[in-house]
A = this chain, B = another copy of it.
Amino acid sequence: MATTAPITLQSVFELVREDLLAIEREFGDDTASDVQVITEIGEYLRNGGGKRIRPALLLLSAKLCGYEGQGAIRLGAVVEILHTATLVHDDIIDEAQMRRGRPSTNHQWGNSRCVLAGDWLYMQAFKLAVQERNFRILDVLIDLTQRMVEGELLQLEKLGRCISLDEHLELIHRKTACLFSVAMRLGGILGGVSAEEEERLAEYGRSLGMAFQIADDVLDLTATEDVLGKPVASDLREGKVTLPVIHVLEHCSTEERQKIEAVLRERAFNGFTHSDILAMLQRYGSVDAATRRAQEYAEAARQAICIFPDSEIKRALLWVPGFVVSREK
Protein backbone atom coordinates (compact mmCIF):
# COMPACT_ATOMS: atom_id res chain seq x y z
CA MET A 1 0.00 0.00 0.00
CA ALA A 2 1.65 3.22 -1.09
CA THR A 3 1.62 5.96 1.54
CA THR A 4 -0.36 8.30 -0.67
CA ALA A 5 -2.98 5.83 -1.91
CA PRO A 6 -6.37 6.10 -0.20
CA ILE A 7 -6.99 3.36 2.35
CA THR A 8 -9.78 0.93 1.47
CA LEU A 9 -11.06 -2.22 3.14
CA GLN A 10 -9.36 -4.17 0.38
CA SER A 11 -6.01 -2.51 0.94
CA VAL A 12 -6.20 -3.22 4.68
CA PHE A 13 -6.97 -6.89 4.09
CA GLU A 14 -4.18 -6.94 1.49
CA LEU A 15 -1.69 -6.25 4.29
CA VAL A 16 -2.56 -9.57 5.92
CA ARG A 17 -3.95 -11.46 2.92
CA GLU A 18 -1.45 -14.34 2.92
CA ASP A 19 -1.74 -14.83 6.65
CA LEU A 20 -5.54 -14.78 6.48
CA LEU A 21 -5.39 -17.49 3.82
CA ALA A 22 -3.12 -19.51 6.09
CA ILE A 23 -5.63 -19.03 8.93
CA GLU A 24 -8.38 -20.20 6.61
CA ARG A 25 -6.44 -23.40 5.95
CA GLU A 26 -5.72 -23.83 9.66
CA PHE A 27 -9.42 -23.29 10.46
CA GLY A 28 -10.26 -25.98 7.87
CA ASP A 29 -7.77 -28.52 9.19
CA ASP A 30 -8.72 -27.75 12.74
CA THR A 31 -12.42 -28.31 12.38
CA ALA A 32 -12.03 -31.67 10.64
CA SER A 33 -12.75 -34.56 13.01
CA ASP A 34 -13.11 -38.30 12.61
CA VAL A 35 -16.68 -37.76 13.76
CA GLN A 36 -18.36 -36.80 10.52
CA VAL A 37 -21.03 -34.46 11.82
CA ILE A 38 -18.36 -32.22 13.38
CA THR A 39 -16.54 -31.94 10.07
CA GLU A 40 -19.86 -31.14 8.35
CA ILE A 41 -20.89 -28.47 10.83
CA GLY A 42 -17.35 -27.09 10.82
CA GLU A 43 -17.36 -26.76 7.05
CA TYR A 44 -20.80 -25.15 7.05
CA LEU A 45 -19.65 -22.59 9.58
CA ARG A 46 -16.38 -21.91 7.81
CA ASN A 47 -18.18 -21.18 4.55
CA GLY A 48 -20.69 -18.94 6.30
CA GLY A 49 -19.26 -15.67 5.11
CA GLY A 50 -17.72 -14.50 8.36
CA LYS A 51 -15.77 -11.30 7.90
CA ARG A 52 -12.68 -12.64 9.72
CA ILE A 53 -12.30 -9.26 11.35
CA ARG A 54 -10.98 -10.76 14.63
CA PRO A 55 -8.09 -12.69 13.08
CA ALA A 56 -7.34 -9.71 10.82
CA LEU A 57 -7.02 -7.50 13.91
CA LEU A 58 -4.75 -10.03 15.58
CA LEU A 59 -2.52 -10.15 12.51
CA LEU A 60 -2.36 -6.37 12.23
CA SER A 61 -1.57 -6.05 15.93
CA ALA A 62 1.19 -8.68 15.72
CA LYS A 63 2.67 -6.92 12.67
CA LEU A 64 2.47 -3.54 14.39
CA CYS A 65 4.54 -5.10 17.21
CA GLY A 66 7.11 -6.48 14.79
CA TYR A 67 6.15 -10.12 15.31
CA GLU A 68 7.17 -12.40 12.43
CA GLY A 69 6.42 -15.97 13.60
CA GLN A 70 3.68 -18.51 12.91
CA GLY A 71 1.97 -17.90 16.26
CA ALA A 72 -0.20 -15.14 14.81
CA ILE A 73 -1.68 -17.56 12.29
CA ARG A 74 -2.38 -20.12 14.98
CA LEU A 75 -3.90 -17.57 17.37
CA GLY A 76 -5.81 -15.96 14.50
CA ALA A 77 -7.47 -19.33 13.95
CA VAL A 78 -8.05 -19.61 17.70
CA VAL A 79 -9.98 -16.33 17.97
CA GLU A 80 -12.07 -17.15 14.89
CA ILE A 81 -12.88 -20.67 16.17
CA LEU A 82 -13.77 -19.27 19.60
CA HIS A 83 -16.02 -16.69 17.97
CA THR A 84 -17.65 -19.43 15.90
CA ALA A 85 -18.22 -21.59 19.01
CA THR A 86 -20.03 -18.71 20.72
CA LEU A 87 -22.23 -18.19 17.64
CA VAL A 88 -23.23 -21.88 17.57
CA HIS A 89 -24.33 -21.77 21.20
CA ASP A 90 -25.91 -18.30 20.88
CA ASP A 91 -28.07 -19.48 17.99
CA ILE A 92 -29.45 -22.26 20.20
CA ILE A 93 -30.24 -19.74 22.90
CA ASP A 94 -31.80 -17.18 20.56
CA GLU A 95 -33.66 -19.96 18.71
CA ALA A 96 -32.28 -18.33 15.58
CA GLN A 97 -33.64 -19.50 12.24
CA MET A 98 -31.15 -17.58 10.12
CA ARG A 99 -27.54 -16.48 10.39
CA ARG A 100 -25.66 -14.62 7.63
CA GLY A 101 -28.39 -15.28 5.06
CA ARG A 102 -28.52 -19.07 5.57
CA PRO A 103 -30.34 -21.41 7.95
CA SER A 104 -28.60 -21.30 11.32
CA THR A 105 -26.69 -24.43 12.40
CA ASN A 106 -29.25 -25.27 15.10
CA HIS A 107 -32.01 -25.01 12.49
CA GLN A 108 -30.01 -27.32 10.20
CA TRP A 109 -28.64 -29.88 12.70
CA GLY A 110 -30.85 -29.52 15.78
CA ASN A 111 -29.98 -28.20 19.21
CA SER A 112 -28.40 -31.37 20.60
CA ARG A 113 -25.76 -31.67 17.91
CA CYS A 114 -25.07 -27.95 18.13
CA VAL A 115 -24.53 -28.00 21.91
CA LEU A 116 -21.85 -30.65 21.33
CA ALA A 117 -20.41 -29.07 18.19
CA GLY A 118 -19.98 -25.82 20.12
CA ASP A 119 -18.24 -27.68 22.96
CA TRP A 120 -15.97 -29.37 20.45
CA LEU A 121 -15.06 -26.05 18.82
CA TYR A 122 -14.25 -24.48 22.19
CA MET A 123 -11.90 -27.37 22.91
CA GLN A 124 -10.39 -27.16 19.43
CA ALA A 125 -9.61 -23.50 19.99
CA PHE A 126 -7.85 -24.36 23.25
CA LYS A 127 -6.06 -27.33 21.73
CA LEU A 128 -4.53 -24.96 19.18
CA ALA A 129 -3.83 -22.29 21.77
CA VAL A 130 -1.99 -24.76 24.03
CA GLN A 131 0.38 -25.45 21.15
CA GLU A 132 1.76 -21.92 21.60
CA ARG A 133 3.15 -23.19 24.92
CA ASN A 134 2.50 -19.83 26.57
CA PHE A 135 0.55 -19.84 29.87
CA ARG A 136 -0.16 -16.13 29.72
CA ILE A 137 -2.00 -16.61 26.42
CA LEU A 138 -4.09 -19.42 27.93
CA ASP A 139 -4.96 -17.30 30.97
CA VAL A 140 -6.12 -14.49 28.67
CA LEU A 141 -8.21 -16.80 26.46
CA ILE A 142 -9.89 -18.66 29.32
CA ASP A 143 -10.72 -15.42 31.11
CA LEU A 144 -12.15 -14.06 27.84
CA THR A 145 -14.32 -17.10 27.24
CA GLN A 146 -15.80 -16.97 30.71
CA ARG A 147 -16.54 -13.26 30.36
CA MET A 148 -18.30 -13.83 27.06
CA VAL A 149 -20.36 -16.71 28.47
CA GLU A 150 -21.23 -14.65 31.55
CA GLY A 151 -22.27 -11.83 29.23
CA GLU A 152 -24.69 -14.14 27.43
CA LEU A 153 -26.09 -15.29 30.77
CA LEU A 154 -26.53 -11.68 31.92
CA GLN A 155 -28.28 -10.91 28.64
CA LEU A 156 -30.65 -13.85 29.20
CA GLU A 157 -31.54 -12.48 32.64
CA LYS A 158 -32.37 -9.09 31.10
CA LEU A 159 -34.31 -10.31 28.06
CA GLY A 160 -37.62 -8.60 27.47
CA ARG A 161 -36.78 -5.73 29.85
CA CYS A 162 -35.90 -2.10 29.28
CA ILE A 163 -32.37 -2.13 30.67
CA SER A 164 -30.26 0.91 31.53
CA LEU A 165 -27.53 2.33 29.34
CA ASP A 166 -24.85 1.05 31.73
CA GLU A 167 -26.30 -2.45 31.74
CA HIS A 168 -26.39 -2.40 27.95
CA LEU A 169 -22.81 -1.18 27.62
CA GLU A 170 -21.64 -3.96 29.93
CA LEU A 171 -23.43 -6.52 27.77
CA ILE A 172 -21.89 -5.37 24.48
CA HIS A 173 -18.53 -5.09 26.16
CA ARG A 174 -18.67 -8.76 27.14
CA LYS A 175 -20.39 -9.86 23.94
CA THR A 176 -18.09 -8.21 21.40
CA ALA A 177 -15.52 -5.79 22.79
CA CYS A 178 -13.74 -8.36 25.00
CA LEU A 179 -12.88 -10.59 22.06
CA PHE A 180 -11.74 -7.66 19.89
CA SER A 181 -9.62 -6.53 22.81
CA VAL A 182 -8.06 -9.98 23.27
CA ALA A 183 -7.34 -10.29 19.54
CA MET A 184 -5.31 -7.06 19.71
CA ARG A 185 -3.69 -7.98 23.05
CA LEU A 186 -2.53 -11.35 21.71
CA GLY A 187 -0.72 -9.61 18.87
CA GLY A 188 1.09 -7.55 21.50
CA ILE A 189 1.93 -10.60 23.63
CA LEU A 190 3.38 -12.35 20.58
CA GLY A 191 5.40 -9.25 19.78
CA GLY A 192 6.69 -9.05 23.35
CA VAL A 193 5.73 -5.38 23.78
CA SER A 194 5.72 -3.47 27.06
CA ALA A 195 2.80 -3.69 29.49
CA GLU A 196 1.72 -0.18 28.52
CA GLU A 197 1.78 -0.93 24.81
CA GLU A 198 -0.17 -4.12 25.42
CA GLU A 199 -2.83 -2.17 27.35
CA ARG A 200 -3.03 0.37 24.51
CA LEU A 201 -3.62 -2.40 21.98
CA ALA A 202 -6.25 -3.98 24.23
CA GLU A 203 -7.91 -0.57 24.64
CA TYR A 204 -7.95 -0.10 20.86
CA GLY A 205 -9.67 -3.48 20.49
CA ARG A 206 -12.16 -2.77 23.26
CA SER A 207 -13.18 0.62 21.87
CA LEU A 208 -13.30 -0.70 18.32
CA GLY A 209 -15.46 -3.60 19.49
CA MET A 210 -17.90 -1.24 21.20
CA ALA A 211 -18.09 0.89 18.04
CA PHE A 212 -18.56 -2.23 15.91
CA GLN A 213 -21.39 -3.60 18.04
CA ILE A 214 -23.23 -0.28 18.23
CA ALA A 215 -23.00 0.03 14.45
CA ASP A 216 -24.30 -3.54 14.16
CA ASP A 217 -27.21 -2.78 16.46
CA VAL A 218 -28.11 0.33 14.44
CA LEU A 219 -28.03 -1.72 11.22
CA ASP A 220 -30.31 -4.32 12.80
CA LEU A 221 -32.95 -1.58 12.96
CA THR A 222 -32.23 0.40 9.80
CA ALA A 223 -30.92 -2.03 7.15
CA THR A 224 -32.95 -4.41 5.01
CA GLU A 225 -33.42 -8.15 5.52
CA ASP A 226 -31.40 -8.68 2.34
CA VAL A 227 -28.38 -6.86 3.72
CA LEU A 228 -28.67 -8.39 7.21
CA GLY A 229 -29.17 -12.00 6.12
CA LYS A 230 -31.87 -12.28 8.81
CA PRO A 231 -35.14 -10.46 9.64
CA VAL A 232 -34.90 -6.74 10.48
CA ALA A 233 -35.16 -5.72 14.14
CA SER A 234 -34.20 -9.24 15.25
CA ASP A 235 -32.90 -7.81 18.50
CA LEU A 236 -36.29 -6.41 19.51
CA ARG A 237 -38.01 -9.62 18.45
CA GLU A 238 -35.60 -11.49 20.73
CA GLY A 239 -36.42 -9.13 23.59
CA LYS A 240 -33.15 -7.21 23.41
CA VAL A 241 -32.96 -3.42 23.67
CA THR A 242 -30.00 -1.79 21.98
CA LEU A 243 -28.52 1.70 22.09
CA PRO A 244 -30.91 3.46 19.65
CA VAL A 245 -33.91 1.96 21.45
CA ILE A 246 -32.54 2.98 24.85
CA HIS A 247 -32.26 6.53 23.47
CA VAL A 248 -35.86 6.41 22.24
CA LEU A 249 -37.03 5.14 25.63
CA GLU A 250 -35.27 8.06 27.35
CA HIS A 251 -37.14 10.58 25.21
CA CYS A 252 -40.50 9.13 24.13
CA SER A 253 -43.99 9.42 25.61
CA THR A 254 -45.44 6.91 28.08
CA GLU A 255 -47.71 5.57 25.35
CA GLU A 256 -44.76 5.03 22.98
CA ARG A 257 -42.79 3.36 25.73
CA GLN A 258 -45.65 0.94 26.33
CA LYS A 259 -45.65 -0.01 22.65
CA ILE A 260 -41.94 -0.85 22.74
CA GLU A 261 -42.36 -2.73 26.00
CA ALA A 262 -45.11 -4.79 24.36
CA VAL A 263 -42.79 -5.80 21.49
CA LEU A 264 -40.09 -6.78 23.98
CA ARG A 265 -42.55 -8.73 26.13
CA GLU A 266 -44.37 -10.46 23.28
CA ARG A 267 -41.24 -10.95 21.15
CA ALA A 268 -43.27 -9.81 18.14
CA PHE A 269 -44.59 -6.71 16.42
CA ASN A 270 -48.34 -6.90 17.13
CA GLY A 271 -50.20 -3.85 15.82
CA PHE A 272 -46.99 -1.84 15.96
CA THR A 273 -44.72 -2.17 12.98
CA HIS A 274 -41.09 -1.92 12.13
CA SER A 275 -41.95 1.35 10.32
CA ASP A 276 -43.41 2.70 13.55
CA ILE A 277 -40.13 2.02 15.31
CA LEU A 278 -38.18 3.66 12.46
CA ALA A 279 -40.42 6.74 12.73
CA MET A 280 -39.74 6.95 16.46
CA LEU A 281 -35.98 6.60 15.95
CA GLN A 282 -36.23 9.46 13.44
CA ARG A 283 -38.42 11.62 15.68
CA TYR A 284 -36.00 11.52 18.62
CA GLY A 285 -32.76 11.51 16.62
CA SER A 286 -31.90 8.18 18.19
CA VAL A 287 -29.96 6.71 15.26
CA ASP A 288 -27.81 9.84 15.17
CA ALA A 289 -27.28 9.65 18.92
CA ALA A 290 -26.18 6.02 18.73
CA THR A 291 -23.94 6.74 15.75
CA ARG A 292 -22.34 9.64 17.63
CA ARG A 293 -21.55 7.31 20.49
CA ALA A 294 -20.07 4.76 18.07
CA GLN A 295 -17.93 7.58 16.65
CA GLU A 296 -16.70 8.47 20.13
CA TYR A 297 -15.60 4.88 20.65
CA ALA A 298 -13.94 4.93 17.20
CA GLU A 299 -12.02 8.05 18.23
CA ALA A 300 -11.00 6.42 21.53
CA ALA A 301 -9.67 3.45 19.56
CA ARG A 302 -7.55 5.73 17.36
CA GLN A 303 -6.27 7.62 20.39
CA ALA A 304 -5.29 4.41 22.13
CA ILE A 305 -2.62 3.55 19.58
CA CYS A 306 -1.20 7.06 19.17
CA ILE A 307 1.96 6.00 21.06
CA PHE A 308 3.07 3.61 18.30
CA PRO A 309 5.40 5.01 15.61
CA ASP A 310 3.97 5.78 12.17
CA SER A 311 3.80 2.83 9.78
CA GLU A 312 1.64 1.39 7.05
CA ILE A 313 0.08 -0.98 9.62
CA LYS A 314 -0.62 1.82 12.07
CA ARG A 315 -2.30 3.89 9.34
CA ALA A 316 -4.48 0.88 8.49
CA LEU A 317 -5.44 0.46 12.15
CA LEU A 318 -6.24 4.17 12.38
CA TRP A 319 -8.52 3.83 9.36
CA VAL A 320 -10.48 0.77 10.61
CA PRO A 321 -12.60 2.44 13.35
CA GLY A 322 -14.00 5.05 10.95
CA PHE A 323 -14.86 2.31 8.48
CA VAL A 324 -16.55 0.19 11.14
CA VAL A 325 -18.94 2.95 12.19
CA SER A 326 -19.85 3.99 8.66
CA ARG A 327 -20.23 0.54 7.08
CA GLU A 328 -23.62 -0.39 5.68
CA LYS A 329 -23.50 -4.15 6.30
A contacts, CB < 8 Å to B: 33-35, 37-38, 89, 92-93, 111-113, 115-120, 122-124, 126-127, 130, 133, 135, 138-139, 142-143, 145-146, 149-150, 152-154, 156-157
Q: How far is the CA of A166 from the CA of B88 in the complex (A)?
A: 31
Q: How far is the CA of A117 from the CA of B118 in the complex (A)?
A: 13
Asked whether A145 and B133 contact (CB < 8 A) given A116-B153, A150-B35, A153-B116, the answer is no
Question: Looking at chain A's contact residues, is the secondary structure mostly helix, strand, loop, or mixed?
Answer: helix
Nearest 5 Cβ contacts at the A-B interface: A93-B112, A35-B150, A119-B149, A123-B146, A127-B142
By the criterion CB–CB under 8 Å, are B35 and A154 in contact?
yes
Q: How far is the CA of A126 from the CA of B149 in the complex (A)?
A: 14
Copies of this chain, complex-wide, total: 2
By the criterion CB–CB under 8 Å, are B138 and A130 in contact?
yes
Asked whether A37 and B111 contact (CB < 8 A) given A89-B116, A116-B89, A146-B124, the answer is no
Asked whether A153 and B123 contact (CB < 8 A) given A111-B92, A112-B93, the answer is no
Asked whether A112 and B156 contact (CB < 8 A) given A118-B119, A130-B135, the answer is yes
By the criterion CB–CB under 8 Å, are B89 and A150 in contact?
no
A247 to chain B, nearest CB (A): 27
A122 cross-chain contacts in B, Cβ below 8 A: 119, 122-123
Which of A124, A138, A139, A153 has most chain B Cβ within 10 Å? A153
A12 to chain B, nearest CB (A): 32
A153 cross-chain contacts in B, Cβ below 8 A: 35, 37-38, 113, 116-117, 120
